[in-house]
Amino acid sequence: MLGINNLRLVNRSGRAATGLFSRQPAVSGWSTAGSCGLGRKGLLAIAIVAFAALLQPVAWPSVPNSAEGNRKISEAFEKYVRTTDQRNDSELQRGIDLLWIDSLPAAARKKAYADLRGGQVELEQRTTRETGREIPCPGCMIHHWEGLVFIPEARLEDVLRVLQDYDHHAEYYAPDVARSRIDARDDDHFRVFLRFRRQKVITVVLNTEHAITYYRDATFRAHSRSSATHVAEVENPGKANEREKPRKEDNGFLWGMETWWRMEEKDNGVYVQSEVVSLSRDIPAGLGWMIGPFVTAVPKESLTFTLEATKKAVLSRLHTKNSN
């Protein structure tokens, strides 16, 4: 069994892969003032200070590094991703209802399509279950979000050109992506490097490597499967003493990342769907109410930004092409 420093599984293409984390933020409690009289601003200030302090290495409890702890996290993560893969494969093989909004009741589906064509991003939180039961993840959190955006007047090839142009992802997805490059390509198989920069109260920089495969399902349909094969938190990014932290020293913001993309051209445009499963360390006991909304908001916000940035990049390239 693989340990937490090397969380890997095998996807349907036979390539080694790892997973990513994601959980829905519990933000409703911030909409009203607290009963202690501090008010929303006072509570928010306390939460920010406490969260920033907790992000210092000396304040966070040590990440469990025992063989047993690593084994349990690896097994939970692998099981979750494997089960999610099976559901995705089944949907793709059926070839119907490829977009998650297609399975909504008629009225909700009609509204979702109208909202998408109006420029909105549609999001939903998902939970993969095994035989109807939640898959436990001891010492870690699994986050799972799915989003959808519509790019008007685009064609499937326009979207694929942007998604596969990894050498320029640092331009398309700035500031979330600080560096990007293609390390290797074999037809529709890519190995890429992406440096992520996540900012929410503090800034976290992560070096990641990904194995990605694209599949052309039909003239107007395509999908891809992306697995993070390496994830490391970066200490002192951009400085002479920059280094990747060993897993036992990092804060556990991201321990793996799995992504499923689907694209369908119709309605004089392209619907682009991205589903992300990610893995992080658990929040220290008793502090979830305070820092949970910050930690768990990042996956949702990152997915929203990614879809909006994809749309912007495709439309920008189309505008340049048409201008010429």
Question: pLDDT of 186-234, one tens digit each?
Answer: 999 999 999 999 887 778 999 999 999 999 999 999 999 999 999 999 9
Domains recognised in the chain with CATH numbers: 4-323 (3.30.530.20)
Quick: pLDDT tens for 32-83.
Answer: 333 344 455 555 544 554 444 444 443 445 455 566 777 788 889 899 999 9
d(CA 215, CA 107): 32
Q: What is residue 190's predicted lDDT score, i.e. its pLDDT?
A: 98
Instruction: Please list, in sequence order, all residues whose beta carbon lies within 8 angstroms of the beta carbon of residue 238, skipping any fewer than 6 positions away.
Output: none
Using DSSP, state whether 201 is helix, strand or coil: coil
First to last CA, the chain: 55
* 180 in Cβ contact with 195 (< 8 Å): yes
User: How many angstroms from the chain centroid is the CA of residue 14?
Assistant: 22
Q: What is residue 75's predicted lDDT score, i.e. its pLDDT?
A: 87
What phi and psi, each to the nearest 5 degrees, are found at residue 146? -135, 135
H and E: helices and strands count for the chain: 6, 13
Start-end of H helices in 141-269: 156-163, 169-172
The pTM of the full predicted model, rounded to 2 decimals, is 0.80
Asked whether the bond before 293 is cis by omega within 30 degrees of 0, the reply is: no
d(CA 236, CA 264): 41
Using DSSP, state whether 97 is helix, strand or coil: coil
Using DSSP, state whether 1 is helix, strand or coil: coil
Sign of CA pseudo-dihedral 36, 38, 43, 46: negative
Residue 289 — very low, low, confident or very high, per pLDDT cuts 50/70/90? low
User: How many angstroms from the chain centroid is the CA of residue 181?
Assistant: 19
**Segment holding 307, helix H or strand E:** helix 288-323
Q: What is residue 29's predicted lDDT score, i.e. its pLDDT?
A: 32
Residue 19 — very low, low, confident or very high, per pLDDT cuts 50/70/90? very low
d(CA 121, CA 112): 9
Average pLDDT of the chain is: 82
Asked whether the bond before 64 is cis by omega within 30 degrees of 0, the reply is: no
> Residues of the chain with pLDDT > 70: what percent?
76
Q: What is residue 108's predicted lDDT score, i.e. its pLDDT?
A: 97
Q: Across the chain, which distance is largest between two alpha carbons, in Å?
A: 62
- State both tokens at 181: 């490059």
d(CA 171, CA 203): 19
- pLDDT above 50 (res 138): yes
39-48, 158-167, 243-252, 280-289, range with the lowest pLDDT: 39-48
| 256-271: average pLDDT | 97
Sign of CA pseudo-dihedral 79, 81, 84, 88: negative
Q: What is residue 65's predicted lDDT score, i.e. its pLDDT?
A: 58
Burial class (CB in 10 A: 0-12, 13-18, 19+), 312: middle
Start-end of H helices in 35-155: 39-54, 67-94, 106-117
Q: Position of tokens 């390239």?
A: 317
Q: Check residues 147 and 60 and name the one with the higher pLDDT.
A: 147
